[in-house]
Structure 1
Amino acid sequence: MAFRSHRPRHVYFFNGNHKSSWDRVRRNNWFSGRWLELLKLIVLLAMWLIFTLLIILTPERHTDEVVVELSPKTLEWSPDFERPPYRFVRLLINGAVDGVRTRSHNAKKSEPFIGVIVHAFDEKANRTLWKSREWKIYMDFEATKDSQVEHVFKMKVLKSQDFVLQVSLFNPFTVPIGLSMTVIPNSMNPDNGIVFGTIILIMLYVLLIINITYRTFVAIFMATTAVSLLSLSDARPSVDDLGGWIGIEMLMLLFGMMLLVEGVKGTGVFDYLSVFAYQLSRGRYWRLFFFLVAFSAISSAILDTVAMVLVMLPVTIRLSEILKLNTMMLLLAIAAFSNLGGALTPIGDPSMAIIASNEYVVDHGITFGVITLHMFPGIFIAMIVIYFLFYLLGRKLIYTTEVDKLQRAIESMEDRLRKGDILSEEEREHLRSRIHELRERLRDEQSPDFETTLARMKRKYRITDSVLLIKCGISLAATLIICILHSLPSISGIKLCWASYLGALLMLILINRADADALINSVDWGMLLYFGALFVLVECLLLIGLVDWMSDLIVCAILKADNDNQLAVAIVVLLWVTTLFSSVVDNVPIASLMLKVTITLNNSPHLQLPFTPLIWALSYGVALGGNGTLAGASISVVTFAVAKEYGYTRSFLQYLAIGVPFMLITMIICTFYLLVAHCVFHWH
């Protein structure tokens, strides 16, 4: 029986079931994919239109500051402000104020404060129509620079249209005090701002998980959402404010480390070290497993983790294919150990760089050497436990049948080619060459012996540019020396960002122009933009009030414990909250967000907590949480993105089944370590 070409072909089975042909399935998948793309486009265009209207119609927050000089033991009145168009008014005070003790539960009752009251005054009737409750401002006369505090007042609905705002300030101190004051009308209820800030965080998590677009766009999109939310409340930040929020120190550190890693990668030393690890293992699987994860952890401590993993993964995949090992288990182990190794130093992982480069942290004597000293014991114990967990759970899974493994990889890549309507021609060519390579491997049923495999690997993977390797080694050594000098108290001008930047600059001086141009072009500028957008997002959430709300919840939980147990409760709460947050959202924004919460906890006079144990709890939290889910750390995302390109896939839930138990076990270990170190032996 002949079928007409315009009719769909059908497949009939002996059981009588009728199914659509592959052509129809492919067309259905094509249409469903196109509808999803169309829906995404409509939603994004609608939100872009909202962003554009808000930014066009809302001016930047350029308000005039009023300077008020408060005489000792007197009540002063500020100049009149115009009637605000909204019920909520934000008052900003700049000066030698304490930026933390602005709420009653954060200060002692006997401590003096400046009392601030906002009045609605009717000039015609010469009477006060409404006045707010007293806002207490505590001073910090030893501060080296001015700080800013703010408070939102909710006005009562007034029928009179002819009133102005007045602010009264009482100075109980015996010295004159100068303050600058700004009144900003606010159309949004602060409680609603907390709700909207939480929704933004949830949206960030969802967009990163479902992976409908690239991460840099997600970060930029959510940062724009947060700025638009501030615009909706008439608090749109200026361009200068946005520039200050980006975090130039952090970006300098990442830029320098990216250049150093790209330079080392071009020498072929990572491929050579992988072959060297195989030679040391003598073909024994678990010995090779140990060398690979140890090398990943050590490299992540001194180099940028994401760039290092990008170099290690292709070699590891090919090595596992040659030795007929479980590729996904090796990749999972490298991601986990790289994430832990990056927490050993401030220059390995971006989240650790955020913590170490903070000015408040540096002022408390937390330097490169101190961080490494305090992070090493807990991370080392966690690594040992995870290694034995891999051995116990995977000793029967590390070896797989070559034919079955390669056949699954080929089928996965062929499926991507059939469904990959949005793949570029370069990606298609990569998949085709990869399929051809694996099909050739299937023809060889005999596994070569150790000596043959080692000889083949030495011919293929070797150091390609020894001169460049020497130059990169000199630059990397200079970077580490400057980082070590950062730990010396007598040298105060060094920052980690300058150590990374100067080391990269030295490498650019030593190499020729062609290599320098290639290195600069190879920098992942999208990732730098991703981090900058995340910093803007966190600062917007701070203005919205989400950070203060989170701090209040944690302080209230700690205050329920006895004074002797408050440090232990603070360590446990901060470690577990940070770990859980870092497991569902990228640990970079969580590190920035929870660092502000940690500083707030340290400055609470009700708690009187030492600062360093809180910082270690935060650092361990962002490191351990990154291993919980695929969205927890950039390393996990990059690892499985590269694995997918080589035909190895694993779903989010499959990773969750492995990552969550490992995360919980390491959380318990590090909790016990921190409690013993700081609550029993008082190491701080």
Structure 2
Amino acid sequence: MNERRRSMSVTIAIAVFIISYIFIMSEKINRALVALAGGVLLLLTGVYGWEDAVTSYIDWHTVALLFAMMVLVAITKKTGVFSYIAIWLAKVVNGQPIPLMVGIGFLTAVGSALLDNVTTVLLFVPVILTLTNLLQLPSLPYLITIILTANIGGTATLIGDPPNIMIGQAVPHLTFISFLQHTAPIAALLFVLVMIILCFLFRKQLKKIDDNRIQELMKMEEASYLVKSPLLYQSLSILTLTITGFLLHPVFHIDLTIIALCGAILLLVISEKEVEAEAVFQQVEWVTLFFFIGLFMLVGGLEEVGVIDELARSIMWLTEGDMTYTALLLLWVSGIFSGIVDNIPFVAAMIPVIKEFETYGMANLDPLWWSLALGACLGGNGTLIGASANVVVAGLAEAQNKKIAFVKFMLYGIPVVILSLIIATIYIYFRYLLPFQQPL
């Protein structure tokens, strides 16, 4: 009876996930409603209990981090600083669309490496939406650039992307410097290649702007958009302190979520006279947050019935313990799977499995850790729900009536993922597997 019940749970979890995914792709129903409905259906059918959903499967750290950063950005936006940055950047590139795209891509990649990609897109999406409205440019090329470069830049460092943070916490000898040495070089190469491809693909959409509009832009005084009140200095100071806290994470080991929440609450308290908390909370992207909750519940169903664990263990069975095959298969499976579901739960399932590989005689597991990190981070570019940063950008854009179509994004994201995984395969093979293969 138990076996039959388990088989039924497996069927229900997979069916609910697939059906929900189809509805999310169709975009006919709000994606947060679809994800939450799927999660509730898993509760009703007994795939898992409410307590398991709340304590095990919903990643409240990610949800709380997003909420805190949304609060910080919502308050900071009232100071006009994003308009200031947008106009300044546009003037630096003389209002030219392609250089502007390269500039925003570079800033996003660097910001994602030094902070984390979720925080970076929360800061830059309002800037680019302001800028495209100002110059009457299509927003889609810039939003796609931000998503792709955020995930590529986040690949470069320990704190850049949640999967890297999880791997760094699980493997003590993989430090901040280790990620800079091992993942930053390929991230830099991929950034250059992807920007060249994007410039080619969007060259017709991003034609030269009318000279009169450029003249109007160059006459604008960006400083006039700043609201020089105590709120400006308060928000910038606390935002800077929060970012500094992120950078010092490897030193003090304070959880990133705690740092962000402290910054958000502190800014809410000291700015209460100028900005009411209720007004700030109204600007939080609640649809995005609830979508994350629903998505975690959907993937939690696959975890509960053992689908993700079975996938992970199948890698070892298929490769028969060969280091080269295991590392490369892990790279591609994590890359493809991370594009279908959020990469966070997949990495969480894979970490204990990789640790078990030591029992099969694999003394040097580093190639596997780098394969997992590169596959999970780069694979997140595949779809709009492949990584946390993608979901946030889609939510911010939709709030400004700049909706990114799920299928349309895949037309750009999937080729980039395939290219990234091919280059990562070559990189991993020649840097780790060829010189350091362990005999069986």
Normalised by the size of structure 2, how large is the TM-score?
Answer: 0.82
Pick one of 258, 262, 268 that aligns with 1:498: 258
* Bigger proportion of residues as strand: 1
RMSD: 3.5
Matched residue, 2:353: 600
Q: Distance in 2 between matches of 1:386 and 1:213?
A: 32
Matching residue of 1:188: 5
The residue aligned with 2:169 is 361
Query: Cα distance 1:495–1:647, how it changes in 2: closer, same or farther (>3 A)?
Result: closer
Q: CA deviation at 1:327?
A: 4.7
Which residue is equivalent to 1:468?
A: 231
What do the CA deviations read for 1:321-369 (whole angstroms, capped 9, x no partner)?
A: 2xxx565433332332233334445666xxx3366258x9346355666
Equivalent position amino acid for 1:356 in 2: I
Q: Is 1:552 the equivalent of 2:313? A: yes
Is the contact between residue 162 and residue 344 of structure 2 (CA under 8 Å) also seen in structure 1?
Answer: no
Give 1:213's aligned residue: 29
Change (3 A) 1:487 1:453: closer
Deviates more, 1:278-287 or 1:636-645: 636-645
Q: Specify whether residues 469 and 570 from structure 1 end up closer, same or farther in structure 2 by C-alpha distance, changes over 3 A only.
A: farther
- SS of the aligned residue for 1:230 comes to coil
Q: Is the 8 A contact 2:43 2:49 kept in 1?
A: yes
Name the counterpart of 2:373. 619
Query: Residue 448 in 1 paired to residue 212 in 2?
Result: yes
Partners of 1:578 and 1:622 within 8 A in 2 = yes
2:79 alignment counterpart: 267
Residue type of the partner of 2:236?
A: G
User: How high is the sequence identity, in percent, across the aligned residues?
Assistant: 23
Show structure 2 runs of 5+ residues with no match.
none
Q: Find the residue that maps to 2:250 and give its secondary structure.
A: coil
Work out the CA distance in 2 between the residues paired with 1:592 and 1:379: 23
Deviation at 1:217, TM superposition (A): 1.8
> Does the alignment pair 1:317 with 2:132?
yes
**Equivalent residues in 2 for 1:581-596, closer than 5 Å:** 581-583=337-339, 585-586=340-341, 588=342, 590-596=343-349
Displacement after TM superposition at 1:311 (Å): 0.8
Closer, same or farther: CA 666–616 of 1 in aligned 2, 3 Å: same
Q: Which amino acid aligns with 1:377?
A: P
What residue is the counterpart of 1:128 in the other structure? Answer: none
User: Larger Cα Rg: Structure 1 or Structure 2?
Assistant: 1
**Cα distance, 1:206 vs structure 2:** 0.9
In 2, distance between residues paired with 1:384 and 1:296? 13
Are the structure 2 counterparts of residues 656 and 241 from structure 1 closer, same or farther at C-alpha, using a change threshold of 3 Å? closer
- Using the size of structure 1 for normalisation, the TM-score is 0.55
Taking the aligned partners of 2:200 and 2:58, their CA distance within structure 1 comes to 45
Measure, in 2, the Cα distance between the counterparts of 1:452 and 1:342.
36
SS in structure 1 of the partner of residue 49 of structure 2: coil
Judged with a 3 Å threshold, the aligned counterparts in structure 2 of structure 1 residues 268 and 305 are, in CA distance, closer, same or farther, namely: same
SS of equivalent to 2:261: helix
Residue by residue over 1:121-161, the C-alpha shift from the partner in whole angstroms, topping out at 9 and shown as x without a partner, is: xxxxxxxxxxxxxxxxxxxxxxxxxxxxxxxxx6xxxxxxx
Amino acid at match of 1:269: V
Once the two structures are superposed, the pairs formed by residues 264-303 of structure 1 within 5 Å of their partners are: 264-301=76-113, 302=115
8 Å contact kept, 1:223–1:537 = yes
Q: Is the 8 A contact 1:297 1:341 kept in 2?
A: yes
Cα distance, 1:356–1:646 mapped onto 2, change above 3 Å: closer
SS in structure 2 of the partner of residue 487 of structure 1:
helix
Q: Cα 1:285–1:629, aligned 2, differ >3 Å: closer, same or farther?
A: same
Mapped to 2, the partners of 1:296 and 1:319 lie a distance apart of 20
The amino acid across from 1:266 in the alignment is K
**Aligned equivalents of 2:283 and 2:297: distance in 1?**
25
Change (3 A) 1:480 1:315: closer
Match of 1:523 in 2: 284
**Which one scores higher on RCO, CA 8 angstroms, separation ≥ 6?**
2
Counterpart residue identity of residue 355, structure 2: N
Say how many residue pairs are matched.
431
Given that 1:382 and 1:670 are in contact with CA atoms closer than 8 Å, whether structure 2 keeps it comes out as no
Q: 1:667 to 1:305 in 2, by over 3 A?
A: same
Query: 2:148 touches 2:381 (CA, 8 Å); kept in 1?
Result: yes
TM-superposed CA distance for 1:574, in Å, is: 2.0
User: Is the 8 Å Cα contact of residues 300 and 308 (structure 1) preserved in structure 2?
Assistant: no
Task: Classify 1:523/1:347 alpha carbon distance in 2 versus 1 (closer, same or farther; 3 Å).
Answer: farther
Task: Please point out which of 361, 378, 382 is paired with 1:628.
Answer: 382
Change (3 A) 1:268 1:362: farther
Q: Which residue of 2 aligns with 1:511?
A: 271
Please report how far the alpha carbon of residue 473 of structure 1 lies from its aligned counterpart in structure 2 after TM superposition.
Answer: 3.0
Q: CA deviation at 1:648?
A: 7.0
Using the TM superposition, give the Cα deviation of residue 550 of structure 1 relative to its aligned residue in structure 2, in angstroms.
0.9
For residue 570 of structure 1, what is the amino acid of its counterpart? T
Within the candidate set 166, 183, 199, 1:391 is matched to: 199
Q: Determine the structure 1 residue equivalent to 2:189.
A: 381
Judge which range, 627-636 or 500-509, deviates more.
Answer: 627-636
Indicate which of 420, 433, 436 corresponds to 1:679.
Answer: 433
Tell whether the 8 Å contact from 1:313 to 1:642 is kept in structure 2 after alignment: no
Matches of residues 223-234 of structure 1 in structure 2 within 5 Å?
A: 223-230=39-46
Taking the aligned partners of 2:174 and 2:267, their CA distance within structure 1 comes to 28
